[in-house]
Amino acid sequence: MEDGYVVVIKPSARRVSRAVGEWVAESGRSREFDSKALARRWAKAAAPQGKTLWVQDAHPLDPSPADGYLLARRSRLRGNEPERPGEQAPLSTAAEDA
């Protein structure tokens, strides 16, 4: 039997999902699930239309009790938005490089 799966909610997820922001305001920055699969289902259900939320495993050397992180991808419709500290920029595509 699993001990549970603790998800730390990152600021990117709070910014794109009202449901996630409300969870953090009411219950704190982490949430425990019975399994990673249930955490992923919550992420999918909490994602607003057109946005992506996902659960990423925590780094093995992370000293926190987190098993994973809830993250969100920012929209880059204009293509000129700077990345925020700690955020990864998307890889360019072959079409953009041509």
Q: Which residue has the higher pLDDT, 9 or 87?
A: 9
Whole-angstrom distance, CA of residue 35 vs CA of residue 31: 11
Q: What is the pLDDT of residues 19-70, one digit of tens each?
A: 999 999 999 999 999 999 999 999 999 999 889 999 999 999 999 899 999 9
DSSP code, position 95: H
Token look-up 């495993």 returns 57
Other beta carbons within 10 angstroms of residue 55's beta carbon come to 23
Q: What is the pLDDT of residue 18?
A: 92
For the chain, the domains span 5-75
Model confidence, pTM: 0.71
Alpha-carbon span 25 to 28, nearest angstrom: 6
Residue 35, CA atoms < 13 Å, CB-side half-sphere = 5
